[in-house]
Amino acid sequence: MAEPSPASFPAARPRRLRRTAALRRLAAQVDVRPADLVQPLFVKEGISEPVPVASMPGVAQHTRDSLRKAAAEAAEAGVGGLILFGIPAAKDDRGSAADDPDGIVQAALRDLRAEVGARLVVMADLCLCEYTDHGHCGVLTPGRDVDNDATLERYQAIAVAQARAGAHVVAPSGMMDGQVAAIRQALDGAGFADVAICAYAVKYASGFYGPFRDAAEGAPRFGDRASYQQDPARREEALREVMLDVAEGADIVMVKPALPYLDIVGMVARQASVPVAAYQVSGEYAMIEAAAAAGWLDRDRVIGETLTAIKRAGAGIILTYWATEVARRLA
Ligand code: PBG
């Protein structure tokens, strides 16, 4: 009998390491851990029961009480952190409620710090869109443009209010130029040199934020965010944003959204000298929940696969509305 030719009997058999679960586990390079996950939570002023968010099944706007409960569950599951978004009862053109020491976010931050602050990282989203009556992420010029530098002064006041209320980390998401430097300066000046900044460094103007605007009630009343968020058709600009934010003092840089921007996550992770986070946003969540509800996708499997993909691309920290659920499953 002739020797088998290498062509019909290949020596290289990648399938060898896929044969059993134990071999696959041994060969695996990417592992999503509960501590990598950050749970976004919404708290709303003036409600007596949690209000479900229609476009995000499983997500609710919390009361202060139900927020504490959700935070305790997240801590119990071992998630790495929480990020809080507040929805005030009253809005105005400068977003006054955002830095009100008695406002809903500051009250809820004090609750969270007391309830779970020793077990996980309490982060505060720092923006104006939930607090302004026009829904933009900054204050406006008379011509209704977003006024970059006037907005920075508002961000400084908000950062100090959030730090005073107990935030370990503030996360500016408004995409104003110079926001990290301005906030760092304000925090240091007010005696909060230890409060870290997780910069939404790379934030694309995305349709995937649609459901979030129901959850946080911060949709712009006119125009859109394309003059301050990034253009999806650009790539290397993401590195410029990251370099600026790190130079300005960002402790963590974030890329957002996650799954449609994995190329950007990968590029940033290869360059950044600080931890990289990715935000699996509301539209990514809604898309999978809707397809799963229709019976078109295996929900749990796809959730796990997306988180693995985001981690594999290079994000060490993942903000996801499934954080508590997935952390429980991993435990
Ligand atoms: C506010 C903010 C947004 C998100 C986080 N912070 C919305 C926006 O920029 O329009 C999106 C989060 C999500 O979609 O899950 N600046």
Please write the tens of the pLDDT for every residue from 266-309.
999 999 999 999 999 999 999 999 999 999 999 999 999 999 99
Least reliable range by pLDDT among 63-72, 89-98, 154-163, 219-228: 219-228
Distance 132 CA to ligand 1 centre (A): 14
* CA-based nearest residue to 84, from 199, 168, 196: 168
pLDDT at residue 4 above 80?
Answer: no
Residue 17 belongs to a domain: no
The whole domain housing 211 covers: 32-330
Give the rounded percent of residues in the chain with a pLDDT score beyond 90.
92
> Which residues share a beta bridge with 212?
none
- Are 172 and 127 contacting, i.e. CB atoms less than 8 angstroms apart? yes
Q: Would you place residue 331 in the very low, low, confident or very high pLDDT band (cuts 50, 70, 90)? A: confident
Supply the pTM of this predicted model.
0.95
DSSP state for residue 90 in the 8-state scheme? -
Residue 271 included in any domain: yes
- In the chain, what is the straight-line distance between the N-terminal and C-terminal CA atoms, in Å? 55
Specify which residues 230 forms β-bridges with: 204
Q: Which residues line ligand 1 (CB under 6 A)?
A: 125, 127, 129, 137, 173-174, 209, 212, 218, 225, 281-282
Cβ-based neighbour number of residue 174 at 10 Å = 25
Give the residue whose CA is nearest to atom 6 of ligand 1: 173
- With 80 as the cut, is the pLDDT of residue 142 above it? yes
* pLDDT value at residue 141: 93
Phi, psi of 153 (to 5 degrees): -65, -35
- Residue 251 falls inside a structural domain: yes
Task: Give the chain's domain count.
Answer: 1
Interatomic CA distance for residues 152 and 123, integer angstroms: 19
Q: Which residues contact 116 (CB under 8 A, 6 or more apart)?
A: 71, 72, 74, 75, 82, 122
Residue type, 243: M
Please state, in angstroms and rounded to a whole number, the distance separating the CA atoms of residues 126 and 224.
19
CA–CA distance, 129 with 110 (Å, rounded to integer): 22
Instruction: State the pLDDT at residue 99.
Output: 96
- What spacing in Å lies between the alpha carbon of 87 and ligand 1's midpoint? 13
Ligand 1 centroid–CA 217 distance in Å is 10
Mutate to test the pocket of ligand 1, among 105, 127, 208 (most ligand atoms within 8 A of CB): 127
Which CATH number belongs to the domain containing residue 244 in this structure?
Answer: 3.20.20.70
Instruction: Tell me which residue has its CA closest to atom 10 in ligand 1.
Output: 209
Residue 295 lies in a domain: yes
- The pLDDT value recorded for residue 9 is 84
The residues with which 85 forms a beta bridge, in sequence order, are: 42
Mean pLDDT (whole number) for 110-128? 98
Question: CA 228 → CA 10, 113, 205, 221, 231, distances in Å?
Answer: 55, 32, 8, 16, 9
209 Cα: distance to centroid of ligand 1 (angstroms): 6
Q: Which residues of 187-198 are buried (b: 16+ CB within 10 A; e: fewer)?
A: beebebeebbbb
CA 220 to ligand 1 centroid distance, Å = 11
Q: For residue 315, is pLDDT > 90?
A: yes
Instruction: For a ligand 1 pocket test, name from 56, 125, 212 the mutation site with the most ligand atoms within 8 angstroms of its C-beta.
Output: 212
* Protein residue closest via CA to atom 12 of ligand 1: 281
- Tokens at 87, concatenated: 């929805």
Catalytic amino acids?
203, 256
In a domain, 326, yes or no: yes
Q: Using the atom order of ligand 1, give the atom closest to the CA of residue 280.
A: 15
Q: What is the mean pLDDT of the chain?
A: 95
Closest-CA residue, ligand 1 atom 11, reads 209
Residue 22 in any domain: the answer is no
> Do the domain assignments include residue 208?
yes
Task: Please answer whether residues 46 and 86 qualify as being in contact, where contact means their C-beta atoms are separated by less than 8 angstroms.
Answer: no
Nearest atom in ligand 1 to the alpha carbon of residue 210 is 14
Query: Nearest to residue 98, comparing CAs of 185, 167, 51, 147?
Result: 167
Task: Answer positive or negative: Cα dihedral of 207, 275, 72, 74.
Answer: positive
Helices (H) and strands (E) in the chain, counts: 11, 10
Residue having the nearest C-alpha atom to atom 7 of ligand 1:
209
What is the enclosing helix (H) or strand (E) of 279? strand 276-279
Nearest atom, ligand 1, residue 220 CA: 10
The residues facing 61 across adjacent strands are: 42, 51
CA distances from 159 to 88, 147, 239 (A): 17, 18, 25
Return the best residue to mutate from 126, 146, 209, 221 for the ligand 1 pocket (most ligand atoms within 8 A of CB): 209
Residue 212 CA to ligand 1 centre (angstroms): 6
53-106 pLDDT, tens digit each: 999 999 999 999 999 999 999 999 999 999 999 999 999 999 999 999 999 999
Expressed in angstroms and rounded, the spacing between residue 304 Cα and the centre of ligand 1 is: 23
In this predicted structure, the answer to whether residue 6 has a pLDDT above a threshold of 90 is no
Which amino acid, residue 183? I
φ and ψ at residue 147, rounded to 5 degrees: -85, 105
Q: Specify which residues 84 forms β-bridges with.
A: 41, 124
What are the pLDDT digits (tens) for 18-52?
Answer: 999 999 999 999 999 999 999 999 999 999 999 99
Query: How many residues are recorded in the chain?
Result: 331
Among protein residues, the one whose CA lies closest to atom 14 of ligand 1: 209
For position 219, what pLDDT does the model report? 87
Residue 7: predicted pLDDT: 64
User: Does some domain include residue 254?
Assistant: yes
Three-state DSSP class for residue 74: helix
